[in-house]
Amino acid sequence: MADYFDELGCEPIAPEQAQSHQLLLMVRFLQQNGFFADDLNTDQLPPPASKALVAALPERQVAADDERCAICIKPNDPDGDNEAFLVLPCGHDFHKSCIVPWLEKTNSCPLCRHEMKTDDEGYEEQKKFRERAARREQELEELHNSMYG
């Protein structure tokens, strides 16, 4: 039979590390139970979309079967002098004059809230941290479900 610590892939805690380990366990407990804010900048609005991303968005012309732009709700006339649409990474498209001011204020699609890359490194780090935390939570849930059905 395998040793307990070998099976878990860890080492027993040395007596001189016991106090710091207990502090880490206490901090983890407090954080998991909502005593610390997960996001210290909860009042901060999302930053604008990356200028390079906005400049690189593909354009397309109005087609006969196009619906209205979801922002301005103007009817599209393929035979008229309509402006081009910009296509977001999520696949939604809007008039260029409608979506560019939106993306200068926030980094998400106005329809589906798909978040785009920003030039704000701190926000990008927070986004990665939230994604990793959600992935860990999902893996833990899958592990629990595989053990207990």
Domain boundaries, the chain: 51-103, 119-149
Specify the CATH number of the domain 51-103: 3.30.40.10
Mean pLDDT by 10 residues, the chain (149 residues): 69 84 86 66 79 94 74 73 84 92 94 93 88 91 84
**Beta-bridge partner residues of 118:** 49
Residue 79: what pLDDT? 64
How far apart (Å, rounded) are the C-alpha atoms in residues 106 and 60? 22
Residue 1: what pLDDT? 46
Residue 114: what pLDDT? 93
Quick one: DSSP state of residue 93? E
Q: How many residues does the chain have?
A: 149
**Beta-bridge partner residues of 59:** 86
Cβ contacts of 49 within 8 Å, gap of 6 or more: 103, 104, 106, 107, 116, 117, 118
